[in-house]
Structure 1
Amino acid sequence: MNDIMYPADEIEKSFATLDRTPAPLGHPMVNGVFLSASDPEGINLGWIGAWNENVRRENGRVFLDKVIDVEIANRSEGGKAVLSAIDKGEPVHTSTGLLAQLEAANGDVSYSHIARDLVFDHDAILLNEKGAATPEQGVGMMVNSKGEKEEIAVINSSLSDIDQEIDWAGTRLVEALRRKDNLSVWERMKSAIIEAISSEREPVANRKEADMTVSKEQFDELSAKVNTLSEGLDKIGETIANAVQTAVKPLTDNLATIQNNQKAKDDAELAGLVEKIVKANILDEDSAKELTLNAARKLAEKATPGKAAPLNGAFTGNADKPAFKLPEGDK
């Protein structure tokens, strides 16, 4: 193919390297140069969520499965085109991309090189171009050596998505069964209540003993469940209150300690201020003890040396006034 000879023994040694390789749409190429389909640029150019799997060799021919993640394929126009081609059921061309050591051919042969030490990089899907080997030769998607259609196998999601779907389905099932059970209890309870209060129920004398026995057992069972439910509801408030109290207890204890320490500090300061006020003869001891801390702080400022109100500097006494004289004859 392409003027290169690929010997059977070289293919035998290397075909397994096709397993888990990308299956891009076309061979990735930048500026006329082929790229590996696993190269970041190659992934951007050709990735449509398809890869090669289950590679095997039978009777000298290599077979593999193309696995396509439908969700990923539907995110690109190329992926959608591949899915559309598969839906049509017509053969699709494919073409391998590989690395090899090229050995010059000698002699009168129809090829110029011989490929050695093959390492397969990808097996591309071709829509608007033909591969070196064609579906007519049994090479491509959905064909075998007889030209018959092969089985189509695609996947819709990854294993992690499947696990999530199973979890979701299981959760919904458990929830539905729980609702059904609760509904069954309510339906039986409702029937018993209706039967108990209905004015149109048949007289007790006309009821069969077996019916009465079953009805009583059902009613007793429902009554027990109602009592249990009522007791649980009665305790909900208590349970919540206890939980909240337990959760905030460390906070309230810490706050109480802080408050107690601050009160002791304030009491000591007030006692000192009272003593200071009494010594300064501003108030007697009993009156001073009735002061609040803020009031005591204000009054204590007046007892601090150097804090007394200054004298009026404009007052000069009688120095500038004439001396006062008594009337004559007076002393």
Structure 2
Amino acid sequence: MKTVRVNIRTLANAGAIRREKRNGRDVVIVPSATLPDNIVMNNIMYPAEEIEKSFGGLERTPAPLGHPTINGKFVSARDPEGINLSWIGAWNENVRRENGRVLLDKVIDVEMANRSEGGKAVLSAIDKGEAVHTSTGLLAMLEVANGDVDYKHIAREIVFDHDAILLGEQGAATPEQGVGMLVNSNGEAQEIEVINSAVDQADIELDWAVDSLARALERRQKATVLDRMKSVIMEAFGFTEREPSTNRKEDDMSVSKEQFDALSAKVETLSEGLANIGTTVGDAVANAVKPLVDAQNTALENQKAKDDAEKAGLVEKVVKANLLTEAVANSLSIEALKELAPKAEPGKAAPLNSQYKPNAEKQGFKVPEGE
């Protein structure tokens, strides 16, 4: 088997280009696709299992402007001289395989791109909405196909090198020599055959159209209540969201009684629905927390019964010990009763009875009158 270099051209999804800020830097993200499963190009078939084994190698690879060449020969986009020639601050990421196709995003650092004429040209084309083509550079070994098939070779041991951005060309630029350079394990450069291919654009554009439609439907489903109200009102009046023509007659803008009644009914229905939102949400929340509230109330009731029983025991204890009357004991908190309880233990001295008079006179003291 021989090793070849293949450049596969595809069309980027210009309709899905988006802008973000990463690490404080502005970036432009261009979705693209490449290499469908089992596709045949230039008499070479690319098996799904070979693509599956290798597609992850595209992650974080360079996205140069065109395929870099040195002295008219293709080189790897990771080659130092190749980087100097074609780097515009773009790389590939979010590589995945969906519906039998390799999908990936090209991230372009705006500040870095503006440092080169090529990078500025790419940003300008994107801003103008012009078509942006991409071209995947890969290495593969060609195996001779056997049997009654419509191709001559099968691509094996695929190694992805980069996915380039193309401007001003419908396919990969082919040097007159038609060769590329590959460094072998001994560090020696060797020439290899270069094959330029292109994926059927009609197939790609259909994929992008389906993707755009799916996104549009998703956005419509997420329309807010106000957007829907606006739509209902506009439809009731027979308007669209486009600006009315300046040549439209005032009679065309009039509203019939039937239209007005229909609008009133629709607005009233919407108003009733919005008015009940608070009640609906409140009921839902109340039903959700009811088990928690009930459990809390039960716990509180059980604790109160326990505290009441403990207090009753303490009241009985201090009353029997003649420390307090029952009425006074009941008026105290359970904490205060707990402080008095040790004094009611057997062997503890009881307080003096209010009717008791010490024999003060025998001790040489005079008892005041009335005592």
**TM-score greater than 0.5 by the shorter chain:** no
| Structure-1-length-normalised TM-score | 0.41
Larger Rg: 1
| Structure-2-length-normalised TM-score | 0.37
Q: Which structure carries more strand by proportion?
A: 2
